[in-house]
Amino acid sequence: MKSFIKVIAIVLVLVTFSSCFNKNDRNYQYMPNMYKSVGYETYQKVEFLPSGVEAGLPVENTISRGHMPYKFANTLEDKELARVQASPLDSLKSEENLAVGAELYTIYCAICHGNKGDGNGTLVSREKILGVPNYSDAGRNITVGSTHHTIYYGLNSMGSYANQLNDKERWQVAEYVIKLKQDLIK
């Protein structure tokens, strides 16, 4: 008899609790801040962070440390000014720079320009892209400065590599392109 009462009691308890649960209602959320983050606007100052750590926009007319803006615009006139520039890299470390340049060239450029710079990369032989020049093409008069400029801005169907290569790397690749050009002329 006692166990019968127990069973009845358990059933009653279950019925009482389950009848409070409504499937159509939202469930309880424990610690709702784990589900819903506070929305912040991008590039806004955030009050709880000490100044200098938030991702606010830089103060006008300032540049971030270690970054040098490129001084030439993407115009034909400025490209001619860029063309006569010499490479600022240390000529005594030329071997080292060429080695790095060769590696980056193989990663980013050879797919179109070919390992030798003759314009016969894989994408060209598979006819995926047209008009890739040979670096020794006299009409283009490719120099280390013009190559650096082209890497920065891209040219027509060639995209810019300013986001993939930093300034030093751009010069390293440009020096390597000139080496390829000289080897092609030989």
Q: Which two tokens stand for residue 148?
A: 């650096």
Give the residue with the Cβ less far from ligand HEC, 16 or 141.
141
Closest distance of CB 91 from ligand HEC, Å? 20
Give the residue with the Cβ less far from ligand HEC, 56 or 158.
158
In whole angstroms, give the CA distance from residue 118 to residue 133.
7
Residues 6+ apart with CB under 8 A from 115: 106, 121
B/e letters for 106-134, b = 16+ CB within 10 Å, e = fewer, are: eebbbbbbbeebbbebebbeeeeeeebbb
Give the residue with the Cβ less far from ligand HEC, 91 or 156.
156
In whole angstroms, give the CA distance from residue 138 to residue 63.
38
Closest distance of CB 73 from ligand HEC, Å? 15
In the complex, the residues that contact ligand HEC under the rule CB under 6 A are 108-109, 111-113, 123, 129, 131-133, 140, 142, 146-147, 150-151, 155-158, 161, 173, 177
Give the residue with the Cβ less far from ligand HEC, 113 or 179.
113
Closest distance of CB 167 from ligand HEC, Å? 13
Residues 6+ apart with CB under 8 A from 47: none
Q: Which two tokens stand for residue 70?
A: 């490129």
Amino acid found at 139:
G
Closest distance of CB 176 from ligand HEC, Å? 8
Give the residue with the Cβ less far from ligand HEC, 98 or 109.
109
Closest distance of CB 99 from ligand HEC, Å? 16
